[in-house]
Amino acid sequence: MKILVVEDDLNLSNMLVKLLQDFGFVCDVVYDGDAAYERGCTEFYDAAILDLGLPQRDGISVLQGWRDFGCAMPVLILTARGRWSEKLADFNAGADDYVTKPFEAEEVVVRLRALIRRSAGHAIPELHTGGLVINTLSGCATDGGVSLNLTGLEFRMLSYFMHHPSRVISRTEFLEHVYESESDPDSNVIDVIIGRLRKKIRNARITTVRGQGFRLDPLGIEYE
């Protein structure tokens, strides 16, 4: 999952990025409102963490700008505001949830995962595709009840598949959502990871759709 972190406090932004990376997220970070608005309108993210007290353009203006532009990604607000009337203004601007500073770091992860699940049409923490199960809270994956021993990249790719079941996902989309923006993966790395996942999973099937990408299906599903 690819997250946009918008926070002008360097220490806090570094902490958030490290935390999210430890939990398997891919992060881009910006430090002011103008950069946040541009990034949200020009790139696709699975969710954003947005501070309100930003230089150049405040967080509410950024959020309203995203929504006016048609950007529908889930947005988790970081705020020091404690009054309900202030939080209500955040929701009216298009926020999906908020965390009040100071906060427990893991709370950000739990709320972020819940927002991403709901935006993908999943209400509960467990995602199922055939006999494959991923628990988004524990970060564990099983196949037919047997725990899967996955590398970080394998888990991120499988998680992305399962958030978008039966949808064809291109190599470019995978590169954008499972790799850090500063990394420079080999051209065939997606095919290598797909090959490893195919050897490890037995109760679902990864299909290659020529010229388009890959699709994860439960066994028994056929397409014309």
Residue 23 domain-assigned (yes or no): yes
Q: In the listed set 84, 119, 154, which residue is the last one of a domain according to the structure?
A: 119
Examine the domain organization and report whether 32 and 11 are in the same domain.
yes
Q: How many CB atoms lie within 10 A of CB 218?
A: 15
Q: Would you give per-residue pLDDT tens digits along the chain (224 residues)?
A: 899 999 999 999 999 999 998 888 989 999 999 999 999 999 889 999 999 889 999 999 999 999 999 888 999 998 876 665 666 666 677 788 888 888 888 889 989 988 988 887 776 778 888 889 988 877 889 999 999 998 888 988 998 998 887 889 998 888 888 876 555 566 688 889 999 999 999 888 899 998 899 999 887 555 44
Q: In the listed set 119, 136, 165, which residue is the last one of a domain according to the structure?
A: 119
The pLDDT of residue 13: 93
Examine the domain organization and report whether 134 and 178 are in the same domain.
yes
Residue 88 domain-assigned (yes or no): yes
The pLDDT of residue 183: 53
Please answer whether residues 197 and 206 qualify as being in contact, where contact means their C-beta atoms are separated by less than 8 angstroms.
yes
Give the 3-state DSSP-derived string for the chain, with helices as H, strands as E and coil as C. Answer: CEEEEECCCHHHHHHHHHHHHHCCCEEEEECCHHHHHHHHHHCCCCEEEEECCCCCCCHHHHHHHHHHHCCCCCEEEEECCCCHHHHHHHHHHCCCEEEECCCCHHHHHHHHHHHHHHHCCCCCCEEEECCEEEECCCCEEEECCEECCCCHHHHHHHHHHHHCCCCCECHHHHHHHHCCCCCCCCCCHHHHHHHHHHHHCCCEEEEEECCCEEEEEECCCCCC
The pLDDT of residue 215: 93
Cis peptide, bond prior to residue 125, ω within 30 of zero = no
What is the tens place of the pLDDT at every residue in 101-124? 888 888 899 899 889 888 877 767
The pLDDT of residue 90: 66
Examine the domain organization and report whether 135 and 108 are in the same domain.
no
Examine the domain organization and report whether 136 and 93 are in the same domain.
no
The pLDDT of residue 216: 92
Examine the domain organization and report whether 101 and 178 are in the same domain.
no
The pLDDT of residue 221: 53
Contacts of residue 37, defined as CB under 8 A and 6 or more positions apart, other chains included, come to 57, 61, 62, 65, 66
Q: Which amino acid is at 190?
A: I
Residue 40 domain-assigned (yes or no): yes
Q: How far is CA 54 from CA 149, 182, 216, 224, in A?
A: 41, 24, 40, 51
Examine the domain organization and report whether 16 and 110 are in the same domain.
yes
CA end-to-end span of the chain, whole Å? 30
Examine the domain organization and report whether 159 and 197 are in the same domain.
yes
Residue 223 domain-assigned (yes or no): no
CATH number at residue 52: 3.40.50.2300
The range of the structural domain enclosing residue 181 comes to 126-218
Count of domains for the chain: 2
Residue located via tokens 């599903």:
221
Examine the domain organization and report whether 24 and 87 are in the same domain.
yes
pTM check: above 0.75: no
The pLDDT of residue 96: 86
Residue 224 domain-assigned (yes or no): no
Q: In the listed set 119, 146, 161, which residue is the last one of a domain according to the structure?
A: 119
Rounded to 10°, the helix 84-93/59-69 angle is 30
CATH number at residue 130: 1.10.10.10
Q: What percent of the chain has pLDDT over 90?
A: 42
The pLDDT of residue 86: 63
Contacts of residue 210, defined as CB under 8 A and 6 or more positions apart, other chains included, come to none
